[in-house]
Chain A
Amino acid sequence: AQTVTQSQPEMSVQEAETVTLSCTYDTSESDYYLFWYKQPPSRQMILVIRQEAYKQQNATENRFSVNFQKAAKSFSLKISDSQLGDAAMYFCAYNQGGSEKLVFGKGTKLTVNP
């Protein structure tokens, strides 16, 4: 079974600084998708960024980018110019191609200090 590991239960960053959240996963499949979801105190799960495993280019969405290392099965999220509104729980998630369910990591709680 696929597993997703987030080794940092909590992280903090100063406003306007950059922070990187770690995620590793375990799979024997070649066709899969990786996601980062944000869950603020409002509890809504919001899709931040998506990466297709067959694409070598790292995905980028404005201030959010990933470092996808397929051989190492690593998928870290970099948040640049951190803002107070970035404070949330961040979940890394895996989806196997052809499957429907997402497998989530345990999450990293990000605090942004003014």
Chain B
Amino acid sequence: AAGVIQSPRHLIKEKRETATLKCYPIPRHDTVYWYQQGPGQDPQFLISFYEKMQSDKGSIPDRFSAQQFSDYHSELNMSSLELGDSALYFCASSLKGGNYGYTFGSGTRLTVV
């Protein structure tokens, strides 16, 4: 069965650079979520999209932005990267509401040096 696809798997950037993470949800899933998981931490909700519109927002820094495109894939753009942005970034998808649980991608490991 198709899963949530994230790219790249690993990314190394320097401080103040920009990074773009991509997410391809499971077909027919209409909601996409982004989470940030710092080392040894639990995942923290960043933002979600339902039918290409932002539907909820968590603790996402102003330096970050995201969007969902017409083909339902989503991109998380991070600018002016800081060392503290180093984390595992998960994308997940679900049917509206997430009550049945999400399906997570394998994550993108971002390292800022």
Residues of A within 8 A of B (CB): 33, 35, 37, 42-47, 50, 52, 91, 95, 97-107
Contact = CB atoms under 8 A, between A and B. Distances in A.
A99 B107 CA distance: 23
A24 to B, nearest CB: 15
B33 to A, nearest CB: 7
Interface in B70-109: 88, 90, 92, 96-107
B42 A100 contact: no
Given A91-B42, A104-B42, A98 B97 contact: yes
Contacts of A102: 33, 43, 45, 98, 102
A37 B104 CA distance: 10
Contacts of B48: 100-101
Contacts of B55: 100
Interface residues of B, number: 27
A76 B31 CA distance: 28
Given A47-B102, A107-B42, A100 B97 contact: yes
B27 interface: no
24 contacts: A33-B99, A33-B101, A35-B101, A44-B107, A45-B43, A45-B102, A47-B101, A50-B100, A52-B99, A91-B42, A91-B43, A95-B99, A97-B97, A99-B56, A99-B98, A100-B56, A100-B96, A101-B33, A102-B43, A102-B45, A102-B98, A104-B42, A104-B43, A106-B42
